[in-house]
Amino acid sequence: MSKKPSCFDRESLVWQLDAGSIVPLAEDNWNDLASSFKTVEEISTEMSGSILLIRRPLPAGGRRLGWALVEEPEPKIRVVRPLADEKEARALIADRLAAYERMWDG
């Protein structure tokens, strides 16, 4: 992973995601913040934890509720990736699952 995880509070994370930043977090930091997000679906990768499809809050005065994925690229690290809409999120999930399937196939 190229970027060291930082510690964020809810407001800082919401603003970073709204700006389009992909945010790496320590697992404990994500666990502390997870209740601020609505989990829509949890998808098992069978290899690298789960992918969470979440609705993310937007900053005050922002647009409607946003979308994001939470992935586990390595143990004890979570990456929160903002996405434009559910269609984009589900397309990325399908790409990720296809990549994991190819790994299983060798």
pLDDT band of 55, cuts 50, 70, 90: very high
Q: Which residue has the higher pLDDT, 47 or 1?
A: 47
Under 8 Å CB-to-CB from 96, ≥6 apart: which residues? Answer: 45, 51, 71
The 3-state secondary structure of 37-73, one letter per residue: CEEEEEEECCCCCEEEEEEECCCCCCCCCEEEEEEEE
Structural domain contains residue 72? yes
Q: Which residue has the higher pLDDT, 5 or 40?
A: 40
Give the pLDDT score at 62.
Answer: 59
Domain tally, the chain? 1
- 77, β-bridge pairs: 26, 74
Structural domain contains residue 39? yes
State which residues form the domain around 63. 10-105
Structural domain contains residue 81? yes
Question: What's the CA gap between 47 and 100, in Å, rounded?
Answer: 7
Structural domain contains residue 93? yes
Structural domain contains residue 3? no
**Predicted confidence (pLDDT) at residue 1 exceeds the cutoff of 50:** no
Structural domain contains residue 64? yes
Q: pTM of the full predicted structure? A: 0.86
Give the pLDDT score at 63.
Answer: 58
Structural domain contains residue 31? yes
Give the pLDDT score at 61.
Answer: 62
**Predicted confidence (pLDDT) at residue 4 exceeds the cutoff of 80:** no
